[in-house]
Structure 1
Amino acid sequence: MSLLLVQLLSGLANAMFLFLIASGLSLIFGVTRIVNFAHGSFYMLAAYLTYSLAGTLPGGPAAFYLAALLAALAVAALGGVVEVLLLRRVYRAPELYQLLLTFALVLITADVVRWIWGADNKTGPSAPGLAGSLPIAGQLFPSYDLAIIGFGPLVALGLWWLFHRTRWGVLIRAATQDRDMVAALGVDQSRLFTSVFVLGSFLAGLGGALQVPRLALTTVMDTSVIVEAFVVVVIGGMGSVWGALLASLLIGVLNAYGVLLLPKIAIVLIFVVMAVVLVVRPWGLLGRPEIQLRPPGRGVVAGGAARRLHPGWTVGSLLALAALPPLLPTYWVSIAVEIFAFALFAASLHLLMGVGGMVSFGHAAYFGVGAYGAALLLQLAGWPMPLAFVAAPVAAALAALLFGYFCVRLTSIYFAMLTLAFAQIVYAIVHQWDEVTGGDNGVLSVWPSAWLASPARYYYWALVATVAGVVLLRRVAASPFGLTLRAVRDHARRAEALGVNIRALQWTAFVVAGFVAGLGGAVFAFLKGSVFPVYAESPMSVQPLVMVLLGGIDSPSGPLIGATVYKLLDTVITRYTDYWQIVLGAILMVLVLAFPRGIAGVLDGRR
């Protein structure tokens, strides 16, 4: 019983940190409608700044607390600069470009932290006056965690006072419900947005600064916290600070008891809860149904159908690709096959996003199912490699059939977050089911048949698979089905009034996209000779998003161009510098701000 009590307290302490981070994220989204991937970066920056300042500031025992406050304020100021100089330029752009811009900030921040503080983990100082433990029910519990449990409600009360007892707070609550009406009443939206971003960044920074005595500082701590923060915000309701508090308590306690009682599935519990909440109450526990990224029926991009590629370009490209293996070193032949795999991955997502207007944060689920399907059918079932290769995308399509049934019932950010939840469930299964998937060790010796063993022969096999997948997607997009899908993307209510079964249409597109993503996973698995859980992890889902936007979401060739450029940049830059993320982040930032139509859009404009 005493152990259960201590676990409860531990869960409450973690919940308070989650609340600090998630409340800022929820506030920013509620007012600006920005899905801020860089929120975790502000959290990480504040933690590292606190680590450095605590060792240099005078003040004796008070130095740590002063350092934490200064770090949070510095991050808040940085958040204001980011909002004014960068995000303010893209408020009227499609939300995907806002997402890409914040992802670029994540890449840049990660390498800046590595450059200043190094890649090694750092251990921060203890909190003066709270370094020991107190006996509770026969168990020792950290004094600092008890203080945090008391501090969290104080922050919540402070936010309540700010939102309900100040004019600024009234404007914030009004903007959360209807920011267009607030603007019509003469409120300066730019100043309001900046102040909200500063406050949200301060809360993220405060959460990071106060974590220093508890956790080792790592250069990937931003990635781990941002996923949990998004889960909290979605469960609580986008834009609801009180929802963030309730969801933080739920997730904190669930994590604490999950590790103790259900260690095998603890990693997936929060995503199961998120999936259930989204299916039953899509707008979250305390959210409002009308909060959306865009009104129903508007696509993720403006504009009509993309122009068709000239047949001469298509034939010329295929002939050039067929001629490459004899001309390239073996290393670059393998890189070309990797590009094929990611071209299928990105093109399948483009069917959902560009044609269907459905933004997925969890497309790696089907890439991962395809890779694991091929590997397990080869190794465990003993199937021949060609048969395993062909069956792998079918397995991915079946997963998409199951998950898509629930996903297409939602729209906007809730659709995106449910896809993320299902992807994390797939990741948890392949990560924890050691007896079948090998867990962290993965599945090894996943090689092509002897007659495809040479890199050149497998290149041609992968090329045929890629052409088949792309042709399938093009045919689907150009068919009456694809045209109807575009109509739903642009005018959902009008299409529904005409008798279109929107859910069935989107569900079918979801399955087709899952099939082609699984085909990309199979190509990748037999190229690498092994599969690992990381293939289905959430960061993998970001890559095709970036590729689609980099190439141009309006163009059918956009994902192919984006996959090629992204992987070439990744390959070339990493050979010359360890800080490749800064370069890639800067390129993405320039692309969003100067060339929002992507590379294909720029090329089309020159014709």
Structure 2
Amino acid sequence: MSFSGFIVQLLNGLASASSLFLVAAGLSLIFGVTRIVNFAHGSFFMVGIYIAYTLVEKLGGSLGFWPALLLAAVAVGILGALIEVVLLRRIYKAPELFQLLATFALVLVIKDAVLWLWGPDELLGPRAPGLKGSVEILGRQFPSYDLFLIVVGPVVLGLVWLLLTRTRFGTLVRAATQDREMVSALGVNQAWLFTAVFALGALLAGLGGALQLPREPATLEMDLNTIGAAFVVVVVGGMGSLPGAYVAALLIAEIKAVCIWLGVVDVFGIPISFSKLTLVVDFLVMAVVLVWRPWGLMGRPQAPSRYVGMQEEPLRLPSRAYVVGTAAFAVVLAAMPILTADQPYTIVLLIDLLIAALFAASLHFIMGPAGMHSFGHAAYFGLGAYGAALLVRAMGLPMELALVTAPLVAALGAFVYGWFAVRLSGVYLAMLTLAFAQITWAVTYQWDTFTGGSNGLTGVWPSAWLSDKRAYYWVTLGLVGLGVWWLRRVLFSPFGYALRAGRDSVLRADAIGIDTKRMQWAAFVVAGTVAGLAGALFAFSKGSISPETLSVGKSVDGLVMVLLGGIQTLAGPVVGAVTFTWLHDTVARNTDYWRAMLGAIILLLVLLFPQGIAGSIKLMVDRWRDRSDKKSATGRVEVKTS
């Protein structure tokens, strides 16, 4: 650790901060005006570097390099405008987090489109003309191109600031950030304002990707890696604040740079690898900032949207027909191992469907009735899975006892994380749950001696009497049914009614003596316990466990399941989990471009069923009943009149 090395690492941090700011600035603009949590923003970054690679080849690496980068950014901006006009404009009045489902589907479609156009191999672009060399700083060489990137960030921030403060367009954007419906009421064409902002945000992300061409190869993993870091920067800086995004990008990038400079340090005789903290330091920063300042460093509370989608309806006890239908369906599920005796893979798929349904039901418990949106629910699923595996391997407990005890490990994690999370709301709560999940993932990924690190744990098999997949299926069916039944029972208890009261009106709930935060905290523990049970069942069904069960992808899968089925019905998460898991398995086994097909199907379902599959079916049934009741009432009036 030398002083010169410290300075060089700080400069590296400045260069990384500029690149990260470009992506975060676009994401912040889009969310501030449209209120869309644009999960596809990382895809725009990825498309930008791929288009830049192609244009540099076509235009020539010397004279055409810099125009190619600008043209790539413009092309991504046009792509963003087309996506907004064709797709997103149709779903602005849907619940805000339901729009997340559409942007997630876009991620799948764009990823496979890039795979089809450019192939799976990494593509490394040429060095920037005029900036191929390096400069000497305190006896060390530093790339000239990185010095250029250090300047780009403040320049772009200044230009966007001038656009937002010195033009009519900027005035409208800032007004829409505070109250977009009022801007529309004043006669502004809100649709085209949204399109322009979305195109500008996509252009900034594309520019950020294009500028990375000389620094790193273009890969298909850039989208998800980038969107996670961009979300962190936007939330830490404050949603909708461009200066906040730049300050947050600087803070996070410099802390990472310092961690790399420190390397391995002995603290009281214990070697600590600070370089490994780079995997999770941004989420640690986000967790600390949100706990200390819930609206970010330079943010402020957003005005609530008047377009909140379908009004929440009170949950009703199931009718007798519903109970009879559910019982009949359970009988069919119990008979499936006998009906599919010659199709062993069907039992494996059914076990996966049941576990996914339980995981989605646990997430729905805090998203629907409790009104808390979690982006990190995979943490409790993974804690349950790792808890079961470690109880069997490290402590030698029998599988049956481990299956019962593992959900308590997840409940403990939910108890700790939930205490902090319930003090926030909206997107900030969701991002804090994501931070906790990523911290858990990082610990699991790097603790080689205990969790197996990146290799995970193997040899986690059920007891001998459950070695037959049919027997394990019946046990899974029973436990999943018990878990779903318990969640429903809790929702129709006094606790469940108090939970929904806090969701619908915090002020009224407080006025009648309901401790809303404590209720939400308890809901986190309940949901975490059930998710832990799903994780334990998953571990024993696969015989092994890996850090992937705690990753962002697993949490996103849970969100997709709940939103696809419908957040306003109790059957929604089960329907969504079965639909998504079955589609994922079927499409992946029948085409190389399964992501695009799956994404297209999800987009189609989003447009056809704007309240989710189960929610839309319930809505249609209710409308049909209303029409039938009106016809019956009209008929009775006519009879009386005659």
TM-score (norm 1): 0.97
Deviations 1:322-368 (A, max 9, x none): 11112222211111111111111100011111111111100000001
Shift of the 155–306 alpha-carbon distance from structure 1 to 2, 3 Å rule, reads farther
- Give the structure 1 partner of residue 85 of structure 2: 84
Q: 1:435 aligns with which of 442, 449, 460?
A: 449
One-letter code aligned to 2:333: L
Q: 1:380 Cα shift?
A: 0.8
Instruction: Tell me the distance in 2 between the aligned counterparts of 1:125 and 1:493.
Output: 59
- Aligned equivalent of 1:44, options 43, 46, 50: 46
Find the counterpart in structure 2 of residue 554 from structure 1.
568
How do 1:320-399 residues align onto structure 2 when only pairs under 5 Å count? 320-328=332-340, 329-399=343-413
Partner residue, 1:417? 431
Partner SS, residue 141 of structure 1: strand
Match of 1:140, SS state, is strand
CA distance in 1, matches of 2:310, 2:540: 34
1:98 maps to which residue? 99
Q: 2:501 aligns with which of 487, 491, 495?
A: 487
Alignment CA distance shift 1:285-1:200 (3 Å)? same
Q: Report the equivalent of 1:201.
A: 202
Q: Tell me the distance in 1 between the aligned counterparts of 2:357 and 2:234.
A: 32
Is contact 1:299–1:490 with CA below 8 Å preserved after alignment? no
Q: Displacement, 1:578?
A: 1.4
Q: CA deviation at 1:497?
A: 2.0
Check the 8 A contact 1:367/1:535 in 2, yes or no.
Answer: yes
Deviations 1:12-32 (A, max 9, x none): 100000000001100111111
Query: Which residue of the partner structure matches residue 6 of structure 2?
Result: 4
Using a 3 Å threshold, how does the CA distance of structure 1 residues 361 and 300 change in structure 2: closer, same or farther?
farther
Shift of 1:280: 0.9
User: Does the CA-based 8 Å contact 2:260-2:275 persist in structure 1?
Assistant: yes
Question: Could you tell which deviates more after superposition, 166-175 or 24-33?
Answer: 166-175
Q: Aligned equivalents of 1:482 and 1:436: distance in 2?
A: 38
8 A contact 1:71–1:205 mirrored in 2: yes
SS in 1 for 2:298: coil
Distance 1:596 1:418, change over 3 A: same
The residue identity in structure 2 corresponding to 1:22 is A
Q: What amino acid is aligned across from residue 77 of structure 2 in structure 1? A: A
Secondary structure at the counterpart of residue 554 of structure 1 = coil
Q: Distance in 2 between matches of 1:306 and 1:123?
A: 58
How far off is 1:308 after superposition?
A: 2.2
Q: Aligned partners of 1:442 and 1:294: how far apart in 2?
A: 44
Are the aligned partners of 1:76 and 1:198 in contact in 2 as well (CA < 8 Å)?
yes
Match of residue 291 from structure 1: 302
Amino acid paired to 2:71? L
Matched position secondary structure for 1:259: helix
Deviations 1:456-495 (A, max 9, x none): 1111111111011111111011112112212222222222
For residues 260 and 456 of structure 2, the distance between their equivalents in structure 1, rounded to whole angstroms, comes to 23
Match of 1:542 among 552, 556, 578: 556
Aligned residue number for residue 586 of structure 1:
600
1:459 is matched with 473
Amino acid at match of 1:16: S
Query: Alignment partner of 1:194: what SS?
Result: helix
Q: Which residue of 2 aligns with 1:305?
A: 315
User: Does the aligned pair in 2 maintain the 1:366–1:518 contact within 8 Å?
Assistant: yes
1:445 to 422, 445, 459: 459
Which of 33, 36, 44 aligns to 1:34? It is 36
Gaps of 5+ in 1: none
Indicate the larger mover: 493-502 or 225-234: 493-502
Equivalence for 2:26 = 24
Task: Report sequence identity in percent.
Answer: 55
Unaligned runs of 5+ in 2: 263-273, 625-642
Check conservation: 1:294, 1:412, Cα contact below 8 A.
no
Quote the residue 2:285 is aligned against: 273
1:576 aligned onto 2:590 = yes
Q: Distance in 1 between matches of 2:82 and 2:415?
A: 44
Q: Which amino acid letter does the alignment assign opposite residue 404 of structure 1?
A: G
Cα distance in 1 between the residues matched to 2:306 and 2:554: 29
- Measured after TM superposition, the shift of residue 180 of structure 1 is 2.9
CA 570–254 in structure 1, closer or farther in 2 if over 3 Å, else same? same
Question: Aligned AA for 1:286?
Answer: M
Matched residue of 1:62: which SS? coil
Residue number among 314, 321, 327 corresponding to 1:315 in the alignment: 327
Give a deviation string over 1:203-242, Cα, whole Å, max 9, x none. 0000000111111111110000000000000000000000
**Secondary structure of the structure 2 residue equivalent to 1:113:** helix
Contact 1:292–1:413 (CA<8 Å) still a contact in 2? no
Q: Distance in 2 between matches of 1:292 and 1:545?
A: 24
One-letter amino acid of the counterpart of residue 353, structure 1: M
What amino acid maps onto 1:314 in structure 2?
A: T
Which one is further off, 183-192 or 129-138?
A: 183-192
**Residue by residue, what CA displacement relative to the aligned partner does 1:434-456 show, whole Å, maximum 9, x if unpaired?**
11001101011111011111111
2:178/2:303 contact within 8 Å kept = no
CA distance in 1, matches of 2:172, 2:589: 50
Verify the 8 A CA contact 2:179 2:303 in the aligned structure 1.
Answer: no
1:245 CA displacement: 0.4
CA offset digits 1:498-523 (Å, max 9, x no partner)? 22111011111111000000111001
Show CA shifts across 1:159-217 (max 9, x none).
12111211211221222222233223322222211111111111000000011111111
The CA distance in 2 between the partners of 1:302 and 1:587, in whole Å, is 27
CA contact 2:385–2:539 (8 Å) conserved in 1: yes
1:307: Cα distance to partner?
A: 6.3
Q: Any conservation in 1 of the 2:283–2:439 contact (CA below 8 Å)?
A: yes
- Calculate the TM-score normalised by the size of structure 2: 0.92
Residue pair 2:610, 2:616 contacting (<8 A) in 1 also:
no
Give the secondary structure class of the aligned counterpart of 1:357: coil
* Aligned-pair CA distance for 1:299: 9.3
Between stretches 14-23 and 138-147, larger displacement belongs to 138-147
Shift of 1:602: 4.0
1:251 aligns with 2:265: no
CA contact (8 A) 2:391 2:397 kept: yes
Q: CA deviation at 1:257?
A: 1.7
The one of 510, 523, 528 aligned to 2:524:
510
| Partner AA of 1:8 in structure 2 | L
Closer, same or farther: CA 381–300 of 1 in aligned 2, 3 Å? farther
Q: What is the Cα deviation at residue 292 of structure 1?
A: 5.6
Give the whole-Å Cα distance in 1 for the aligned partners of 2:469 and 2:140: 60
Find the aligned partners of 2:187 and 2:306 in 1 and give their Cα distance: 23
RMSD value, Cα: 1.6
The alpha carbon displacement at 1:156 in A equals 1.1
In 1, the alpha carbon distance for the partners of 2:314 and 2:124 equals 53
Opposite residue 302 of structure 2, the aligned amino acid is: I
Using the TM superposition, give the Cα deviation of residue 91 of structure 1 relative to its aligned residue in structure 2, in angstroms: 1.4
Once structures 1 and 2 are overlaid, which stretch shifts more, 436-445 or 131-140? Answer: 131-140
Q: Residue 43 of structure 1 aligns to which amino acid in structure 2?
A: F
Distance (whole Å) between structure 2 residues aligned to residue 377 and residue 558 of structure 1:
33
Q: Aligned pair in 2 of structure 1 residues 476, 154: CA closer, same or farther (>3 Å)? A: same
Tell me how far apart the structure 1 counterparts of residues 107 and 477 of structure 2 sit (CA, whole Å).
33
Distance 1:426 1:292, change over 3 A: farther
- 2:125 maps to 124
**Conserved? CA contact 2:5–2:261, under 8 Å:** no
